[in-house]
Chains A and B, each alone.
Chain A
């Protein structure tokens, strides 16, 4: 046939999209899966799918900017002699020195301190920058045990036993050799320049019964003074929360699949774990079934960005939230002002996630002195404080509109859902109905 017959217009496959095909070509050329940082990039049901109902006649609102809406929180009231009191229910999630630069850790401490909240160590151990600038510091007890020592356990205000994280439940990590400076190598008892593996499981316990005894040991070493958090990835939150409580946790930290990581396989980030929206109600149910809701506190994380997210998480039953990715962005990560440099790295501001390569132009996720010396920890700390204050004001605004004089008084009844999926996951009614999918008939 000749060209006078029109062709079917070109149509690209949804399944084999440009992005999918590009990844196939990249894999074929390199022979290795894509490693990157951050959390999931796909759309998953999220807090944006929920709305607050606000008050009219059946509920009585509080006056914005005038009537008190408290934000403080106690963590670790179950067993610890010294539970933690924070001014706001927004904490900084664990991010490791090694993955982050020393000045970045200092900025996190400065910002958290100024906002009246806690920050958390990570896989690399405790740094003086962070301890020195953090009034309240949570020390992560990780499978790798890099830099782990009893002195730092005692210098901490709380101890977080990390069992899993949302970006990769069941997975370990790999800090590639290019980020291993002399200091990182010394802290981790490993030679400079080689890859450092973060194990997927603790080397000296093999199940929930062992965890209970491990927590006893940590409590004995620290004279039962400090709250013990247990951090789990959002995979089987009902059972994992129940077992963490059984093992003696003072606080359960639950991280959904939107939670970030320093570096792991893209396929892991995108295909393992559950969205935090679906995890919170399961964890709360476990706590309620055990009669421990509000007695063992629940901190949730994974994609928290705004005061609305904070308020929604708390309305679903969390006691507090933790932020990681958002804190890095507040410090200046992926700032469009650095666009030219991101392009040199074959990326763009807002999408840069090759943190493991140690070339972060923002100086935040690198161990290169030339890069991290660009970053001003005082300014970074101020930016983080501002951001935390804004989130808190936003959450208070919403809570007052719902008639609540404390963020903790938010409840599922204050919410409805825009989508059936989110309604089913969160256990709140679809907007315009009283239908909670899977629970009642509705109208």
Chain B
């Protein structure tokens, strides 16, 4: 385990060090201490390594991650794992706004609650939230899966495309063109895998969820649908 003291060595050295790690290294486990809410911790990592962030982070922790598994032992600020490409990010505490925004791949797990705009404009990422999510989550979500064990706020999935949303609790309101859809066997199977990988299989069963997705009425502009906007 390599320990990196962020307070002593600074953000620039941290990210430069992590960018210097490649797939051939024996240094596969990293620990970052003294985070003190810093922004842009472990951004742009591109190696199959394990990074443990001990402490709370500011904006954009694990932004654009590729390959790495990053575990935040604390809460995460806005934009955690934004535009993630692959790998996995686990947040043991809560996450602020736009967690996993525009993510194109990989897995984001939030053990606590996520704030508004969770999964906004997601493009292939899988997100599992053990708690609740706030308003405007999955707005314009294109693809990927969002799993919420708790409740969802207003305007869930507004204007979404092909992303699948699974919510166990209540949904305060659905956004434009977002509808409840039938939960078929393939969705239960998919959900079972996501709950397992999201370390939530002991907390919830696939049968307890409802599925939401796009009604696909707004896919091509039609003036008769103008009232929906």
Query: Is the pair A217, B219 in contact by a Cβ cutoff of 8 Å?
Result: no
Q: A190-B162, A204-B120 are in contact. List 9 more A-B contacts (CB 8 A).
A: A30-B223, A153-B64, A189-B143, A195-B221, A199-B140, A203-B101, A204-B101, A210-B78, A217-B79
CB neighbours (8 Å) of B209 from chain A are: none
Q: In the complex, what residue of chain B is closest to A215 when comparing beta carbons?
A: B40
Kindly state whether residue B52 has any CB partner on chain A within 8 Å.
Answer: no
A194 CB contacts on chain B under 8 angstroms = 161, 219-220
- Contact B39–A213 (Cβ < 8 Å): yes
Given A210-B59, A213-B59, A199 contacting B121 (CB threshold 8 A): yes
User: How far is the CB of B188 from the nearest CB of chain A, in Å?
Assistant: 24
Residues in B neighbouring A153, C-beta threshold 8 A: 44, 64
Nearest CB on A from B190, distance (A): 18
Structural contact, A203 and B98, CB atoms closer than 8 A: yes
Q: How far is the CA of A217 from the CA of B58 in the complex (A)?
A: 11
List 24 contacting pairs A-B, 8 Å CB cutoff, sorted by A. A31-B224, A148-B102, A150-B46, A153-B44, A153-B64, A189-B104, A189-B123, A190-B142, A195-B219, A195-B220, A203-B102, A203-B117, A203-B120, A204-B98, A213-B40, A213-B58, A216-B40, A217-B43, A217-B60, A217-B79, A220-B43, A221-B63, A221-B64, A223-B15
Does any Cβ of A come within 8 Å of B69's Cβ? no
Question: Main SS of chain B's interface residues?
Answer: loop
Main secondary structure of the interface of A (DSSP, over half): loop
* Least CB distance, A123 to chain B, in whole angstroms: 13
A208 at the B interface (CB under 8 A): no
Distance of A32 Cα from B44 Cα, bound (Å): 44
State the Cβ distance, A94 to closest chain B Cβ, in Å. Answer: 18
| 8 A Cβ contacts from A5-36 to B | 30-32
Q: How large is the interface on B (under 10, 10 to 19, 20 to 34, 35 or more residues)?
A: 35 or more
Task: Scan residues 157-209 of chain A and give those whose CB is less than 8 A from a CB of chain B.
Answer: 174, 176-177, 188-191, 193-195, 197, 199, 203-206
A145 interface residue, CB < 8 Å from B? yes
Q: Do B82 and A204 touch (CB < 8 A)?
A: yes
In angstroms, how far is the closest chain A Cβ from the Cβ of B180? 21
Whether A149 and B140, one on each chain, are in contact in the complex, defined by CB atoms closer than 8 angstroms, is no
A148 close to B83 (CB less than 8 A): yes
User: Residues of A contacting B58 with CB < 8 Å?
Assistant: 213
Asked whether, in the complex, the Cβ of A214 is within 8 Å of the Cβ of B15, the reply is no
B102 near A204: Cβ-Cβ < 8 Å: yes
- Give the distance to chain A from B209, nearest Cβ to Cβ, in Å: 24
B30 to chain A, nearest CB (A): 16
A145 adjacent to B219 (CB under 8 Å):
no
B 87-129 binary contact with A (CB < 8 Å = 1; else 0): 0000000000110011010000000000001001101100000
- Chain B residues whose C-beta falls within 8 Å of the C-beta of A191 in the assembled complex: 161-162, 219
Q: Does B75 have its Cβ within 8 Å of any Cβ on chain A?
A: no
| Interface presence of A386 (CB below 8 A) | no
- Taking the complex as formed, is B19 at the interface, i.e. its CB lies under 8 A from any CB of chain A? yes
- Would you call B223 and A32 a contact (CB within 8 A)? yes
Of the listed residues A189, A206, A220, the one surrounded by the most CB atoms of chain B closer than 10 A to its CB is: A220
B15 touches A203 (CB 8 A): no
The interface residues of chain B lying within 8 Å CB-to-CB of A30 are 223
In the assembled complex, the Cα of A186 lies from the Cα of B123 at a distance in Å of 11
Closest to A197 in B: B140
B12 at the interface (CB under 8 A from A): yes
Q: Is A222 in the interface zone, CB < 8 Å from B?
A: yes
A144, A174, A221: most-surrounded residue (chain B CB, <10 A):
A221
| Other-chain residue from B11, B39, B66, B159 in contact with A150 (beta carbon distance below 8 A) | B66
With A197-B159, A220-B40: A150-B221 Cβ-Cβ less than 8 Å: no
> In the complex the two chains form, what is the Cα distance from A259 to B100 in whole Å?
33
- For the complex, what is the distance from the CA of A145 to the CA of B83, rounded to whole Å? 9
Question: Are B59 and A217 in contact, CB atoms less than 8 angstroms apart?
Answer: yes
Check A224 for interface membership: any CB of B closer than 8 A.
yes
Q: B83 contacts A149, CB within 8 Å? A: yes
Residues of A within 8 A of B117 (CB): 203-204
**Distance between Cα atoms of A199 and B159 in the complex (Å):** 11
A-B pairs, 8 with minimum CB distance: A221-B44, A204-B101, A194-B219, A189-B123, A145-B102, A150-B64, A204-B98, A217-B60
Among the listed B59, B104, B139, B221, which residue makes an inter-chain contact with A203, where contact means beta carbons less than 8 Å apart? B139
> Distance in Å from the Cβ of A78 to the closest Cβ of chain B?
17
Query: A221, B43: Cβ atoms under 8 Å?
Result: yes
A190 to B159, CA, bound (A): 13
A148 to B44, CA, bound (A): 13
CA–CA, A205 and B39, complex, Å: 13
Interface flag for B53 (CB, 8 Å): no
Interface flag for B16 (CB, 8 Å): yes
> Which residues of B183-229 are within 8 A (CB) of A?
219-221, 223-224
A193 to B102, CA, bound (A): 21
CB distance from A79 to the nearest CB of B (A): 12
A189 to B141, CA, bound (A): 10
Minimal Cβ-Cβ distance residue in B for A206: B97
Q: How far is the CB of B109 from chain A (nearest CB, A)?
A: 19
Asked if B51 CB lies within 8 Å of chain A CBs, one says: no
User: How distant is the Cα of A176 from the Cα of B79 in the complex, in angstroms?
Assistant: 29
A407 CB to closest chain B CB (Å) equals 36
Complex-state Cα separation, A29 to B136, whole angstroms: 35
Knowing A194-B161, A210-B78, say if A220 contacts B221 (CB, 8 Å): no
B78 touching A204, Cβ below 8 Å: yes
Query: Across the two chains, which residue of chain B brings its CB closest to A174?
Result: B221
B20 to chain A, nearest CB (A): 10
Flag whether B72 is at the interface (Cβ < 8 A): no
- Given A203-B101, A204-B78, A204-B82, A220-B44 contact (CB < 8 Å): yes
B85 part of interface (Cβ distance < 8 Å): yes
Task: Report the minimal beta-carbon distance from A366 to chain B, rounded to whole angstroms.
Answer: 18
* Contacts known (A177-B219, A199-B121, A210-B78); A217 close to B102, Cβ less than 8 A: no
From A141, which residue of chain B is reached at the shortest CB distance? B83
Known pairs A189-B104, A203-B102, A204-B101; A150 contacts B162 (CB<8 A): no
Note all chain B residues with C-beta closer than 8 A to A197: 140, 159
In the complex the two chains form, what is the Cα distance from A220 to B11 in whole Å? 8
Report Cα–Cα, A333/B203, bound state, in Å.
60
